[in-house]
Amino acid sequence: MDRLVDPERELALSYAQREAREHLRALWLVDERFGAIVAGTTDPIIGEMRLLWWREALTTAAQEDRAEPLLERVKATLTATDSDGGSWGAMAEGWHALLQEPLGEAELNRFAAERGGRLFTLSAELLAGDAPAGSDQEGRAWALADLAHRISDPAIAELARSMSARLLDAVEPGRWPRPLRPIGALAALAKRDVRTTRRRIGSPGRVARMAWHRLTGR
């Protein structure tokens, strides 16, 4: 079992029902792989080529065997579920947006939709069979809040934070169903992250907030 790099997402993963957990892990590992490609590239063209390779590989993952452990994990999930490898690969479009210069609101909107909105929608489908209303918007807000704390440019970080806050303000408050609480926990953290320029991953307060969401769905 490969652990996620982000310990909070690893904790959120433990909230998933056992039969869905490893499928969700595969999806989230793909998202982390895309993020690592973008974070580790010094040449945008090379980064774009690597993202394109992964997008194409994910699109055909259910039909092909490849000497790549993550793709084998993805194939197992796609074979066992109704999920579509092309939709998984499309998350690369969101990460690709971060390789554009200059980086502005249009690029951040694409990142939010194709990374966050798509990740939450696909996660909901793996967890519960379908994606409820609002999950896409919460995913977009989460992705922007997460980016605001990872990107080095303070102006872009502030723009991402304000865009996330606007999306969250437009979400109708409600109670997340128990099967969807892995992504609900991430959305709950996003509401904290847009109110500060600092965060301590895995701090007691953040873990307590996740635990409260697991119990209550709020």
CATH of the domain at 187: 1.10.600.10
Tell me whether residue 164 is in a domain: yes
Domain total in the chain: 1
pTM of the model: 0.95
For the cut 70, the answer to whether the pLDDT of residue 32 exceeds it is yes
Tell me whether residue 208 is in a domain: yes
Tell me whether residue 202 is in a domain: yes
Least confident range of 13-22, 37-46, 61-70, 204-213: 61-70
Tell me whether residue 103 is in a domain: yes
Amino acid at position 210, single letter: M
User: If you average pLDDT over every residue of the chain, what do you get?
Assistant: 95
Tell me whether residue 155 is in a domain: yes
Tell me whether residue 2 is in a domain: no
Going by pLDDT thresholds of 50, 70 and 90, the confidence category of residue 66 is confident
Q: 3-class DSSP state for residue 13? A: helix
CB neighbours (10 Å) of residue 76?
Answer: 15
For the cut 70, the answer to whether the pLDDT of residue 102 exceeds it is yes
Tell me whether residue 153 is in a domain: yes
Amino acid at position 74, single letter: V
pLDDT at residue number 1: 67
Cα(58)–Cα(52) distance, integer angstroms: 10
Least confident range of 43-47, 65-69, 152-156, 180-184: 65-69
Going by pLDDT thresholds of 50, 70 and 90, the confidence category of residue 47 is very high
Cα(123)–Cα(128) distance, integer angstroms: 8
Of 16, 12, 37, residue with least CA distance to 190: 12
Q: Classify residue 144 as exposed, middle or buried by CB count within 10 Å of its CB (0-12, 13-18, 19+).
A: buried
Tell me whether residue 1 is in a domain: no
Q: What pLDDT, in 10s, does the model give residues 104-126?
A: 999 999 999 999 999 999 999 99
Residue 27: give the domain boundaries: 7-216
Q: What pLDDT, in 10s, does the model give residues 160-208?
A: 999 999 999 998 888 899 999 999 999 999 999 999 998 999 999 999 9
